[in-house]
Copies of this chain bind each other. A is one copy, B any other.
Amino acid sequence: MHPAIEYIEERRSAFVEELKGFLRIPSVSTKSEHKADMLKAAEWLVEQMRGMGLEHVGILPTAGHPVVYADWLHAAGKPTALVYGHYDVQPAEPLELWTTGPFDPAVRNGELYARGAVDDKGQVFMHLKALEAHLKTTGRLPVNVRLLIEGEEEIGSPNLDPFILQHKDTLRADVVVISDTAMIAKDAPGVTVGLRGLVYFQIDVEVAKSDLHSGGFGGAVENPAMALAQLLSKLKDRHGRITIPGFYDDVRKLPAEERRALARLPFSEKKFQKDLGAPALFGEKGFTTLERLWARPTLEVNGIYSGFIGEGAKTVLPCRAMAKISMRLVPNQDPTKIARLFVRHVKHIAPKTVRLKVTEVSGRGTPWLVPTDHPSLQAVARAIEKGFGKKPVYTRTGGTIPVVATLDRLLKAPILLMGIGLPDENAHAPNEKLDLDNLHHGMLSAAYLFEELAETGKGKA
């Protein structure tokens, strides 16, 4: 057996105890009262990194919580992997819903319960121990490695862009490895190869300078909520298809082979609907649920407001109405082009009876997709197959992971999303947990991954 693998196998339960130490630190980035805990978590990482022989270990300041950095760069001629993760966690409230304390880690039925268990301390720990296994058994790593563990992911990484720009040379890499996502189901380890992009707008319509009495004025002036409803109803039809001219022009057609692969994934539409408590599933005609979520764009109303929304009745004719509307994009849609098409269409269909304002209220996200035949994708696939003893599946997620977009844009290296979470592990919710089998097999996979990446050759990862 490979000495690094043996090292991990021998310490399986010891590692769980070690991880508990990391999880006990309440490093909640959004609360200022946890500022000292944030530093404590960073120092915990530093101690681990120094202990295994990583170099240039340090806590680097940002305008907010600091970044923990370390590297090992002695694999001459081999590619460099940048491992990204985060040591901050979501707040634990509501506390009364936790079976055991959020910062008092406990194992039940092979699962480790604590805030941060899966998101993302457990997955950061997995990479640390994989690196330690190599360093402690062979004194070296198969590839060059940099670690970038930030402390502000749960608050939207406000200082990551400037940090990366400032340290661009230090962070150069041939491949980025991130473990902060979930598998589609237990026993179905895999790689996330696609994310949707995003544009987000607010539409405001105004029909008068102040609210009116619906008796005294109703019927003689435009109703802004009705005008807005009529406008929204012209953005998507009853077959779930977006009706903005040109919207689908650049959508990459899903190859028959990919459709077959999606259909083979362990995903039950029936269970999905039941878990949601939905009276029916609904989406674009001609596509399965996974296709709709991962490979098809969508337009969603995120919020709408006008007039009186309290209990009972108020006879008001509101003077304005507002809606928030976002679109999730897929390759090869261009957020800039879609934003332009949206604004043009809304202006075109808005009636003359309203004053219209269309505002973009969030940064744009570009859709992201890694080709599965890319050498580094093949490397991670082999690593997962060895670590889990199962052929990996390729999944996508319908969301947008801002950090991926940031790293993609600034580092221009392929990104491997090897997540070992499960969909029901309560990230961001009470009773967050981590499956300890997945932690162990993920750790083995990570150890294999550094070896497999060495095979891809520098600059080709």
- A residues sitting closer than 8 Å to B (CB atoms) are 196, 198, 200, 206-210, 212-223, 225-226, 228-230, 232-233, 235-236, 238, 240, 272, 276-284, 289, 292-293, 296-298, 300-309, 312-318, 321-324, 326, 328, 351-355, 361-362, 397-400
Q: Is the CB of B313 within 8 A of A200?
A: yes
Known contacts A226-B301, A238-B351: A398-B279 contact under CB 8 Å: no
Of the residues B213, B302, B353, contact of A280 by C-beta under 8 Å:
B353
B307 contacts A214, CB within 8 Å?
no
Return 12 A-B CB contacts under 8 Å, by A number.
A200-B315, A206-B279, A208-B278, A216-B397, A221-B282, A225-B304, A226-B235, A229-B233, A230-B233, A302-B314, A308-B324, A312-B361
Cβ–Cβ < 8 Å partners of A208 in chain B: 276-278
For the complex, give the distance between the alpha carbons of A409 and B278 in Å: 46
Cβ distance A397 to chain B, nearest Cβ, rounded Å: 7
- Kindly list the 4 A-B residue pairs having the minimum CB-CB distance in the complex, ordered from nearest: A215-B399, A209-B277, A219-B298, A313-B362
Partner of A222, one of B196, B282, B328: B282
Contacts of A293 in B (CB 8 A): 216-220
Q: Please state the number of chain copies in the assembly.
A: 2
B-chain residues with CB within 8 Å of residue A278 when the two chains form the complex = 207-208, 221-222, 353
* A273 nearest in chain B by CB position: B221
**Are B303 and A309 in contact, with the CB atoms below 8 A?**
yes
Say whether B306 contacts A326, CB under 8 Å.
no
With contact pairs A277-B208, A307-B324, A351-B238 given, residues A301 and B219 touching in the complex (Cβ less than 8 Å): no
State whether A304 touches B303 (Cβ < 8 A): no
- Looking across the interface, which residue of chain B has its beta carbon closest to that of A298? B219
Q: Which residue of B lies closest to A296 (CB)?
A: B219
Q: With both chains docked as a complex, state the minimum distance between the C-beta of A281 and any C-beta of chain B, in angstroms.
A: 6
A292 partner residues in chain B, CB cutoff 8 A: 219-220
**Cβ of A400 and Cβ of B215 under 8 Å apart?**
yes
Q: Are A306 and B306 in contact (CB under 8 A)?
A: no
Is B196 a contact partner of A312 (Cβ separation < 8 A)? no
Return the chain B residue nearest A214 by Cβ.
B300
Min CB gap A85→B, angstroms? 20
**Nearest CB of chain B from residue A275's CB, rounded to whole Å:** 9
Candidates B233, B240, B304, B313; contact of A306 at CB < 8 Å: B304
In contact, A399 and B216 (Cβ under 8 angstroms): yes
> Which one of A196, A236, A240, A302 has the highest number of Cβ atoms from chain B below 10 Å of its Cβ?
A302
Chain B residues contacting A305 (CB-CB under 8 Å) are 304-305, 309
* Residues of B contacting A235 in the complex (Cβ-Cβ under 8 angstroms): 226
Contact residues in B for A317 (Cβ distance below 8 Å): 300, 302
Give A65 Cβ to nearest chain B Cβ, in Å: 21
Contact with A215, one of B213, B225, B397 (Cβ below 8 angstroms)? B397
Given known A230-B233, A233-B230, A303-B316, contact A328–B280 (CB-CB < 8 A):
no
Chain B proximity of A260: nearest CB distance (Å): 19
Known: A300-B223, A323-B225. A353 touches B318 (CB 8 A): no
Q: Is the CB of B351 within 8 A of A212?
A: no
Look across to chain B and name the residue whose beta carbon is closest to the beta carbon of A207.
B278
Since A300-B317, A303-B306 are in contact, a sample of 5 more A-B pairs with Cβ atoms closer than 8 Å, ordered by chain A residue number, is: A207-B279, A219-B292, A220-B293, A229-B233, A279-B352
